[in-house]
């Protein structure tokens, strides 16, 4: 397997980008995603937060959640968040400069392809399709905490999906001869085929289901002796597996294809 | 047991504040705290983020983390976070008005006592005592993500500790005759005794240790058959129990005492 040496900064712990290190990161990110979904599921849907409850400031017509995410992203840019190629903003067109000295992150991605950003699509999918699946309906008025939880979910999902850029880069460097013809032919279908490993996808879906069972259970002081009563979970584990299978994995592969299509530019 | 009716807003699910509902919330908050500690433990100490790496803007002499938390709090206030009596800011002296219509939270606390805020102390304890215990030493330069994780921990710990105000209110209303003499005598020691239930504290410590074992384990697709190899956790479960026993529980009781001392004003 090709190893991509990305250490141009002498940074501790980031000397080599390999498919193994990428897998390790994706596995760690599963925990973060499951934690964030469980965190969000504490609150009901609270749709007025993101469906445009009007601001009291007439100059601003966005929903509370959109206002919150826009402003947070601006602030996070000011402490250097988007210098990290793993992070992709939802709203920033022009990323403001950091007011603090920034870390030089390794440049592992192809310059002409690294700007792939499908956060607009992730935003829509999240609020229209995913959220209603895993939270209770209802409105408890607790919008500030809800927006903070939505941000945690959105950023965790976005990081995972855009990690496809690193996956694609390593796979390409590992076997450029396999990818180049399909890239030159702009053959999305062929690229998708090259990037699809059903066995791996099934394993990921099983593992996240198990993580949702483990992290979403009620932990009690005295062990449950298995009295036959049905276990309750904070988020339905099968649903987490579905979210991966129907949205996260396909969107990640979509990013991989988009990246590869620009890989020879 | 006295039940404090706090429904002055018709809010779903907040009609009655009882010791049971408070305990339920504290148990749910344990999950959030353990999740946030595990999230922070992904990064090394990264002390330059909070020990004053100077800003490039000469008007600002705070550390990256302090700058970040100050600005986030200002922004969160603008979406109404601090209308919720469960939330207490670290830095805001004057809380700016929300630019969105705000939720009317039930007023359960005594007006002269609700402003108890020990976040200055929590900040110091967190960075000087807790953080070095549960994260690896080192510096990987990833300060923006580290600051976001620190904020998640700080807010989760602060919410838990300041929940002492609700605990104290319900205990007081349950048996004012037990508390009034000690409050009038400003007898902190007597109040602390009235508020201490060692058995309950031991149970909490055991439960959070088990939560850290459960949530901080490596979840694999194939079940570990218990081959005798030592289990690895993302945060040492015993440490989480210690953090509760030596810091969180005593600080919560400190808030309870401070609140009660103002309860008859």
A119-152: pLDDT as tens digits: 999 999 999 999 999 999 999 999 999 999 999 9
Choose among B10, B65, B22, B11: nearest CA to B173: B22
Structural domains in chain A? 4-261 (1.10.590.10)
Q: State residue B230's pLDDT score.
A: 73
Q: What is the pLDDT of residue A13?
A: 36
Helices (H), chain B: 19-40, 64-78, 119-125, 131-134, 143-162, 164-174, 176-184, 188-195, 198-215, 237-243, 249-261
- Helix H or strand E segment including B232: none
Confidence at residue A2, expressed as pLDDT on a 0 to 100 scale: 44
pLDDT at residue number A3: 44
Task: Taking residues A72-83, report their average pLDDT.
Answer: 96
CB atoms within 10 A of CB B4: 19
Shortest distance between the Cα of A206 and any Cα of chain B, in A, equals: 7
- Please indicate whether, in this complex, the C-beta atoms of A143 and B79 are within 8 angstroms of each other: yes
Query: What's the confidence (pLDDT) of residue B64?
Result: 95
Judged by a CB distance cut-off of 8 A, whether residue B32 touches chain A is yes
| Chain-chain contact of A139 with B12 (C-beta, under 8 angstroms) | yes
Q: What is the mean pLDDT of residues A176-203?
A: 97
Q: Which of A14, A79, A200, A209 would best serve as a mutation to test chain B binding (most B beta carbons within 10 A)? A: A79
| A145/B214 touch (CB, cutoff 8 Å), yes or no | no
* Amino acid A224: pLDDT: 56
What the block records as the tokens of B226 is 């218990």
- A contact test, residue of B104, B143, B209, B232 with most A CBs within 10 A: B143
Contacts of A81 in chain B (CB under 8 A): 144-145, 148
pLDDT value for A57 = 67
Rg (CA), chain B: 20
Query: What span, in angstroms and rounded, lies between the C-alpha atoms of B263 and B167?
Result: 13
Quick one: pLDDT band at residue A7, thresholds 50, 70, 90?
very low
Give the pLDDT of residue A244. 98
Read off the pLDDT of residues A93-126 as tens digits, 9 standing for 90 and up. 888 989 998 888 888 999 999 999 999 999 999 9
Which residues in A lie closer than 8 A to residue B214 (C-beta atoms)?
214-215, 217, 219
Minimal CA–CA distance to B210: which of A227, A33, A212, A224? A224
**Each residue's pLDDT tens digit in chain B (265 positions)?**
444 443 333 333 334 678 899 999 999 999 999 999 999 999 999 999 999 756 666 666 789 999 999 999 999 999 999 999 999 999 988 889 899 988 888 889 999 999 999 999 999 999 999 999 999 999 999 999 999 999 999 999 999 999 999 999 999 999 999 999 999 999 999 999 999 999 999 999 999 999 999 999 999 877 655 555 678 999 999 999 999 999 999 999 999 999 999 999 9
Residue A55 has pLDDT above 80, yes or no: no
Exposure string over B44-56, b if 16+ CB within 10 A, otherwise e:
bbbbbbbeeeebe
């Amino acid at each position: 397997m090709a190893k991509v040496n990305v250490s141009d900064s002498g940074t501790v712990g980031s000397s080599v980008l390999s498919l193994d290190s990428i897998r390790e990161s994706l596995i760690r990110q599963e925990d973060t995603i499951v934690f964030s979904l469980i965190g969000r599921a504490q609150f009901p849907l609270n749709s007025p937060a993101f469906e445009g409850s009007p601001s009291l400031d007439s100059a601003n017509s966005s929903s509370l959640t959109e206002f919150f995410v826009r402003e947070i992203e601006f602030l996070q840019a000011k402490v250097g968040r988007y210098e990290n190629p793993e992070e992709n903003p939802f709203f920033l067109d022009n990323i403001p400069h950091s007011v603090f000295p920034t870390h030089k992150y390794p440049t592992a991605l192809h310059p002409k392809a690294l700007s792939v950003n499908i956060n607009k699509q992730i935003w829509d999918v999240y609020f229209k399709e995913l959220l209603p699946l895993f939270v209770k309906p209802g409105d408890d008025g607790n919008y500030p905490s809800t927006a903070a939880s939505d941000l945690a979910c959105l950023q965790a999902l976005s990081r995972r999906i855009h990690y496809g850029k690193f996956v694609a880069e390593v796979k390409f460097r590992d076997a450029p001869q396999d990818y180049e013809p399909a890239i030159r032919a702009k053959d999305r279908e062929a690229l998708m085929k090259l990037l699809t490993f059903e066995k791996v996808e099934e394993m990921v879906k099983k593992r996240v289901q198990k993580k949702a069972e483990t992290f979403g259970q009620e932990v009690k002081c005295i062990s449950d002796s298995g009295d036959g009563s049905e276990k309750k979970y904070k988020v339905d584990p099968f649903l987490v597996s579905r979210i991966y299978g129907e949205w996260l994995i396909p969107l990640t592969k979509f990013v991989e294809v988009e990246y590869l299509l620009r890989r020879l530019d």
